[in-house]
Amino acid sequence: MAEALARMWSQFLPQMYGRVAVLETAARPLADGTLTDTEREEATGAAHKLAGILGSFGLPEGTNLAREAETLCGCKSDAAPAAGARIAEIAALLRNEIGSRK
């Protein structure tokens, strides 16, 4: 079982990092208030998928962070500068969380 899980982790690792990159890319336009609806949907979807897969691999903190990112990306509000900064912070934390799993 552990071997199969390790293979799956290796298989999904590039996708997970790609989804974190989507969040990183969305942070600045979110902060600037220039995030397009398409970018918002992509970032929200990436965060949603990260929340699911990180929990499946036993990274509950990653799941919590990704859920927070999903909420922040999905909201259109006046708090965009703060939300953009938090998304950037979450993305860095997610990179560390993913990288910490061996």
The reported pTM is 0.92
pLDDT digits (tens, 9 = 90+) for 56-81: 898 999 999 999 999 999 887 666 78
Structure tokens at 7: 């293979």
State the average pLDDT over residues 73-98.
89
Q: Which of these, 44, 48, 50, lies nearest to 95 by C-alpha position?
A: 50
